[in-house]
Amino acid sequence: MMQAQSGICAEPNLHASYLMFDIAAGQEADVRQALAHFPELCRDLETSFPDAAFSGLVAIGAAVWDRLYTHRPPELQPFPPSASPQFQAAVTPFDLFVQFRADRFDVLHLAGQRLMARLAGRVRLREEYRGFRFLDFRDLTGFVDGTENPQGAHRAEVALVAEGPYAGGSYLHVQRYVHNMTHWQRLALKEQEDTIGRTKQENIEYASADKPQTSHIKRVNLKSADGQSKEILRQSMPWGTLEEQGLYFISCCRTPTHFNDMLDSMYGSNGQGHLDHLLRYTRPVTGAAFFAPSETFLQQGGVI
């Protein structure tokens, strides 16, 4: 049985560390070997610091996959371009994405140190950001984030490929959003709630008939032709400083289709023509597609 990486379906934590890397030319074999030891690195931290509730995941970018492994996940594609006349989703490919999460910030730093020691000279660190829990699981806009996330065993059903050589893996899409907090905070409470599609303080979703077509919830809560919800598992957290802040958005799913459809719906490029009005107050400055293979896949060096 393929063992999934612990960070894919992990429950929420207090802190997170997000790292983006590009692989140096000619270093593919050494990086592949380092990735084979990534589950061991995570497991050691999990057992050494049980109070930290540590978890980790590494995901390989769509553009670099074929340089590392012989066989490719069947649905792995570059980050989908989406745009409206007013807004455009950023597309910024990276080779590797690493997420560490824990309830202790020092353990996250230790994890980063150990990873960098293994990858030294083989990769270039392109981005490093820290996520944090804000109040009672709220985004910096003040609204509860992740209300629609699957719970319990259903998290794995949504996030993980169930069968075949890539079982236990997950398709990831990562975007770093920067909020225009000044613009957002000028809105009246009702305007904010209409933009999201739920109440702010009580976190009560609007009745379907009351949701504006341009509300965020209306644009991302999608169903298939047979009425099944197109779910994703979000591993998102707020990030930032007092000068620049936003949401580090991470979608984990057994198929990339659900996220792609949500993005098209947000930008009005799915044929309905409705723009997600939350995009007026936040913008994605990165966008990258990855596959996070199982621990078994990594440890076997991609041999399937």
Residue ranges of E strands in 24-95: 55-61
- Measured CA to CA, the distance from residue 283 to residue 266 in angstroms comes to 12
Q: What share of the chain is helix, strand, coil (3-state, %, to 5)?
A: 30, 25, 45
Predicted local confidence at residue 271, as pLDDT = 56
Predicted local confidence at residue 270, as pLDDT = 58
DSSP, collapsed to helix, strand or coil, labels residue 296 as: helix
Q: Which residues, given as ranges, of the chain have pLDDT below 50?
A: none
- Using a cut of 0.75, tell me whether the model's pTM lies above it: yes
Predicted local confidence at residue 303, as pLDDT = 81
Pairing of the two strands 96-102 and 15-23? antiparallel
DSSP, collapsed to helix, strand or coil, labels residue 102 as: strand
Predicted local confidence at residue 269, as pLDDT = 66
What confidence tens digit (pLDDT) does each residue in 35-71 have? 999 999 999 999 999 999 999 999 999 999 999 999 9
What confidence tens digit (pLDDT) does each residue in 258-270 have? 999 999 999 986 5
Predicted local confidence at residue 103, as pLDDT = 98
- Measured CA to CA, the distance from residue 31 to residue 14 in angstroms comes to 30
Q: 72 vs 60, 202, 302, 303, CA distance in Å?
A: 11, 45, 9, 11
261: annotated active-site residue: no
The owner of tokens 């399937």 is 304
- DSSP 8-state secondary structure symbol assigned to residue 163: S
- Measured CA to CA, the distance from residue 239 to residue 18 in angstroms comes to 10
Are 276 and 220 contacting, i.e. CB atoms less than 8 angstroms apart? yes
Residue of 145, 194, 264, 276 marked active site? 145
Q: 79 vs 76, 92, 202, CA distance in Å?
A: 9, 8, 35
Predicted local confidence at residue 108, as pLDDT = 98
Pairing of the two strands 55-61 and 237-240? unpaired
- Measured CA to CA, the distance from residue 80 to residue 90 in angstroms comes to 9
- Measured CA to CA, the distance from residue 84 to residue 276 in angstroms comes to 10
Q: Which amino acid is at 200?
A: K
